[in-house]
């Protein structure tokens, strides 16, 4: 038997896929990185003989990382009960906006439908076991036999968890297209056309907000639109969802009046057109949008500064762009 063990480069090469998986499961880049780091720590804690006995190191790391994420999801529910206001997933910038150096999350987390804010918010409604089964099977195409080893249930039970999760996705009041997975993804041409239309709508919304044009804002918002803001108790934010197009428009105009000198920028947020608000060169809000039928149906505004480190060039891991 060889004493060299598995190729270290191949082992480390699993990191990108593991981060992509863990982010979808946890909704946090920092927690995803910690979970994957713990999985690697357990791998390197084994003796060379134990490592050689592992037939598929990538599958082993996935199983361990999945179990760690499952445990974290369980404890996260308790932590979020104490969270001040609404909790939203950490917004991901486009790789051109990330300022944390070459090893950025946008390199490791492919920006497609399964990381859109709408999709991640729907995932938050699932039980930990549903979320793990659904993401592993429907997004990453893992067979239920392998998922069963991660969540310690039978393959049949895992299949039922995925069915239940899909039902949540279908019935969630998410924007059109937010529930797409790799099995239902639109064609490239359709995606391009949709993205262009979404970008135009977000641009019109930005212009109306900058002009303090409440009538135009109301016209761009669905009458039943909802806005959720996440300040984490660290900055000002609505503690409850703001519901209704008129109320959202009034809230936005009020907030703009309280923050003179605010700059709005069109940016990609979790792979979709979004807006970034900056004040004195610092990103203070990242807004993701749910869009349907040429109207804004949802706004998810992350204001918690701990979730915006990737968007601030002077603070993201201490590395300037």
* Secondary-structure breakdown of the chain: helix, strand, coil percentages, each rounded to the nearest 5: 50, 15, 35
Q: What is the total count of domains within the chain? A: 2
- pTM across the whole model: 0.82
pLDDT at 299: 98
Residues 52 and 165 in one domain: yes
Does position 295 have pLDDT exceeding 90, yes or no? yes
Beta-ladder partners of 42 = none
Confirm whether 107 is domain-assigned. Answer: yes
Residues 166 and 281 in one domain: no
Q: What is the pLDDT of residues 222-246, one digit of tens each?
A: 999 999 999 999 998 999 999 999 9
Which structural domain, as residue segments, surrounds residue 50?
Answer: 8-89+102-171
CATH of the domain at 111: 1.20.140.160
When pLDDT is cut at 50, 70 and 90, the band that residue 82 belongs to is: confident
44-58 mean pLDDT: 93
Q: What is the pLDDT of residues 189-212, one digit of tens each?
A: 434 447 788 999 999 999 999 999
Residues 281 and 195 in one domain: yes
Residues 151 and 22 in one domain: yes
Confirm whether 180 is domain-assigned. Answer: no
Confirm whether 97 is domain-assigned. Answer: no
Residues 166 and 194 in one domain: no
Residues 196 and 275 in one domain: yes
Q: What is the pLDDT of residues 105-114, one digit of tens each?
A: 444 444 456 7
3-class secondary-structure state, position 316: helix
Residues 197 and 149 in one domain: no
Residues 31 and 120 in one domain: yes
Give 276's contacts (C-beta < 8 A, 6+ positions apart): 97, 264, 265, 266, 267, 269, 283, 285, 286, 287, 311
Residues 166 and 211 in one domain: no
Give the 3-state secondary structure of 40-95.
Answer: HHHHHCCCHHHHHCCCCHHHHHHHHHHHHHHHHHHHHHHHHHCCCCCCCCCCCECC
CATH of the domain at 250: 3.10.450.50
Residues 23 and 159 in one domain: yes
Does position 317 have pLDDT exceeding 70, yes or no? no
Residues 154 and 223 in one domain: no
> Residues 45, 48, 52, CA angle at the centre, nearest 5°?
115
Helices (H) and strands (E) in the chain, counts: 13, 6
Q: How far is CA 221 from the centre of its chain?
A: 23
Compute the half-sphere exposure of residue 52: CA atoms within 13 Å on the CB side of its CA: 8
3-class secondary-structure state, position 180: coil
CA neighbor of 266 nearest in space, from 93, 89, 88: 93
When pLDDT is cut at 50, 70 and 90, the band that residue 220 belongs to is: very high
Of 171, 196, 229, at which residue does a domain stop? 171
Of 171, 196, 214, at which residue does a domain stop? 171
Q: Mean pLDDT, the chain, as a whole number?
A: 85
pLDDT at 5: 67
Does position 215 have pLDDT exceeding 90, yes or no? yes
Confirm whether 178 is domain-assigned. Answer: no
């Amino acid at each position: 038997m060889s004493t060299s063990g598995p190729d270290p480069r191949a082992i480390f090469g699993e990191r990108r896929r593991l981060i992509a998986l863990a982010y979808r499961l946890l909704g946090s880049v920092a927690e995803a990185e910690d979970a994957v780091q713990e999985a690697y720590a357990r791998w390197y804690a084994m003796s060379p003989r134990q490592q050689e006995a592992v037939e598929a190191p990538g599958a082993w790391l996935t199983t361990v990382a999945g179990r760690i994420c499952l445990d974290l999801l369980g404890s996260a529910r308790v932590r979020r009960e104490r969270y001040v206001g609404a909790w939203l997933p950490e917004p991901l910038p486009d790789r051109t906006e990330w300022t944390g150096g070459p090893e950025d999350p946008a390199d490791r987390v492919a920006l497609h439908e399964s990381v859109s804010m709408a999709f991640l918010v729907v995932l938050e409604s699932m039980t930990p076991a549903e979320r793990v089964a659904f993401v592993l099977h429907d997004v990453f195409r893992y067979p239920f036999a392998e998922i069963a080893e991660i969540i310690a249930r039978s393959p049949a039970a895992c299949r039922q968890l995925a069915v239940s999760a899909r039902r949540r996705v279908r019935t969630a009041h998410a924007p059109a297209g937010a529930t797409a997975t790799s099995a239902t993804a639109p064609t490239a041409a359709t995606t391009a056309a949709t993205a262009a239309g979404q970008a135009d709508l977000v641009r019109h919304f930005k212009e109306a907000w900058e002009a303090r044009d409440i009538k135009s804002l109301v016209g761009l918002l669905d009458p039943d639109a909802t806005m959720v803001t996440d300040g984490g108790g660290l900055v000002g934010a609505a503690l409850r969802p703001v519901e209704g197009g008129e109320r959202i428009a009034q809230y936005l105009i009020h907030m703009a009046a309280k923050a003179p000198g605010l700059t709005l920028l069109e940016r990609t947020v979790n792979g979709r057109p979004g807006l970034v608000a900056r004040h004195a060169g610092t990103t203070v809000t990242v807004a993701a949008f749910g869009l349907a039928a040429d109207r804004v149906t949802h706004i998810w505004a992350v204001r918690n500064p701990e979730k915006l480190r990737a968007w601030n060039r002077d603070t993201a891991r201490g590395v300037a762009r």
